[in-house]
């Protein structure tokens, strides 16, 4: 197929119900365990890629600002994968924008590399299957593989590069959940997820966490398929606590939470004890994802906005997969 040279794609971040933390191969981003997530509709990363024969190097513009250093290098390295697959040598200009905070534990890198994988591959003339696209996105950011299929997606760890990708276990419309993303800190975290994955092996708790993941995955998968919120709440909160326990016992330790993070977590557990269908999980950052049944969302949002330290509450329902929005 002849390259179109440019394409624009949209992808959503995802919230991991069962977390990805730690690799068995950092280069290929092959995970130690499977993971499971929900794509977040309404939180959008839009990325345009233009392979241009006039360029002498790759360029990356994020939210209107030209990037350099490690950020640009990571994008250029990813584009190298696409160029090898497509058999081209052209440099590219990449323009990407988010309508939500970047680098604050809202999986901006997952959406970024899912959108980049689709836009770059299509611009380079490739027509990849969903599994192939998920594998490609994984090379940029592990969690990005789950943003490719969207909906409720499970990352199969596989035995190697060829079979480590995400599959959708249920479409977005399967369950009317709402993710209330409680922003307590908009700043970029000092230690990114890629560095955190490498630190995980230094924690004495990581082996115990890994040992329990298959059972938690099964519980979470079943809870989603049968729409059992109480079962989902219990396993989602347990898995989140395990990941952050590993972070805090790594060497050096990772403390992503802020005081307001704890306030939100304590409040959500108190509300569920009172009978409300809400639970909470935290990715690699200070901001809290409060998962609620749709009928509880308005009440929960009002309660969350009243808590001290809460700057903003974003709302998202289950979203679809990465898609082309302009050829």
Sequence-distant (6+) residues with CB within 8 A of 218 are none
Is residue 252 reached through a cis peptide bond, with omega within 30 degrees of 0 on the bond before it?
yes
Q: Domain ranges in the chain?
A: 6-172, 177-318
Looking up tokens 């929960």 gives 300
Pairing of strands 92-98, 14-18: unpaired
Identify whether the C-beta of residue 321 lies closer than 8 Å to the C-beta of residue 149.
yes
pLDDT of the residue at 5: 92
Residue 222 CA to residue 231 CA, distance in Å, equals: 9
What's the pLDDT at 325? Answer: 96
Contacts of 1 (CB under 8 A, 6+ apart): 125, 126, 127
Cα 134 off chain centre by? 13
CA pair distance 268, 264, nearest whole angstrom? 6
Contact predicate 92/120, CB 8 Å: yes
Q: What's the CATH code, domain 6-172? A: 3.30.230.10
Q: What is the pLDDT, as a whole number, of residue 196? A: 86
What is the distance between the alpha carbons of residues 11 and 23, in angstroms, rounded to a whole number? 24
Class of domain 177-318 as given by CATH = alpha beta
Give φ, ψ of 57 to 5 degrees.
-160, 165
pLDDT of 186 reads 85
| Run of H or E residues at 298 | helix 294-305
Q: What angle do CA 211, 132, 25 make, to 5 degrees?
A: 40
Q: Strand, helix or coil at 279?
A: strand
Looking at residue 303, its pLDDT comes to 98
3-state secondary structure of 105: coil
The whole-angstrom separation of Cα 267 and Cα 184 is 14
Q: Please state, in angstroms and rounded to a whole number, the distance separating the CA atoms of residues 221 and 214.
A: 10
| One-character DSSP codes across 133-187 | HHHHHHHH-TTHHHHTT-SEEEEE--SSGGG-EEEEEE-GGGS-EEEEEEES--S
- DSSP label at 189? P
The residues, any chain, with a CB within 8 Å of residue 4's CB and separated by 6 or more, are 122, 123, 125, 327
Q: Which residues pair with 312 in a beta bridge?
A: 183
* Rounded Cα distance, 321 and 37, in Å: 12
How far apart are alpha carbons 142 and 201 in whole angstroms? 17
pTM > 0.75: yes or no: yes
pLDDT tens string, the chain, 327 residues long: the values are: 444 599 999 999 999 999 999 999 999 999 999 999 999 999 999 999 999 999 999 999 999 999 999 999 999 999 999 999 999 999 999 999 998 876 555 668 899 999 999 999 999 999 999 999 999 999 999 999 999 999 999 999 999 999 999 999 999 999 999 999 999 998 877 777 778 898 999 999 999 999 999 999 999 999 999 999 999 999 999 999 999 999 999 999 999 999 999 999 999 999 999 999 999 999 988 999 999 999 999 999 999 999 999 999 999 999 999 999 986
Residue 235: predicted pLDDT: 98
Q: Are 263 and 146 in contact (CB under 8 A)?
A: no
């Amino acid at each position: 197929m002849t390259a179109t040279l440019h394409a624009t794609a949209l992808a959503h971040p995802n919230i991991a119900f069962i977390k990805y933390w730690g690799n068995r191969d950092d280069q290929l981003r092959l995970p130690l365990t499977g993971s499971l997530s929900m794509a977040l509709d309404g939180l959008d990363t839009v990325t345009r890629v233009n392979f241009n024969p006039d360029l002498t190097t790759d360029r990356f513009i994020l939210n209107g600002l030209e990037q350099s250093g490690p950020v640009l290098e990571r994008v250029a390295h990813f584009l190298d994968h696409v160029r090898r697959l497509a058999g081209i040598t052209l440099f590219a200009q990449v323009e990407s924008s988010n309508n939500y905070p970047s680098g604050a534990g809202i999986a901006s890198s997952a959406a970024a590399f899912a959108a980049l994988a689709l836009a770059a591959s299509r611009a380079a003339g490739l027509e990849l299957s969903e599994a192939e696209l998920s594998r490609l996105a994984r090379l940029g950011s592990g969690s990005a593989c789950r943003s490719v299929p969207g909906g409720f997606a499970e990352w199969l760890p596989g035995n190697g590069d060829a079979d480590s990708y995400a599959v959708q276990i249920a479409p977005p419309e399967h369950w009317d959940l709402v993710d209330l993303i409680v922003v307590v800190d908009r700043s970029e975290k000092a230690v990114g997820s890629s560095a955190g994955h490498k630190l995980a092996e230094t924690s004495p708790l990581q082996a115990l966490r890994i040992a329990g993941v298959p059972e938690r995955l099964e519980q979470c998968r079943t809870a989603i398929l049968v729409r059992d919120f109480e079962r989902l709440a219990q396993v989602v909160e347990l898995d989140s606590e395990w990941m952050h326990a590993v972070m805090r016992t790594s060497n050096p330790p990772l403390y992503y939470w802020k005081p307001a993070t704890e306030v939100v977590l304590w409040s959500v557990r108190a509300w569920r004890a009172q009978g409300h269908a809400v639970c909470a999980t935290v990715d690699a950052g200070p901001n809290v994802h409060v998962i609620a049944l749709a009928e509880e969302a308005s009440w929960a949002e009002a309660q969350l906005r009243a808590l001290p330290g809460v700057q903003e509450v974003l709302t998202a329902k289950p979203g679809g997969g990465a898609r082309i929005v302009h050829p």
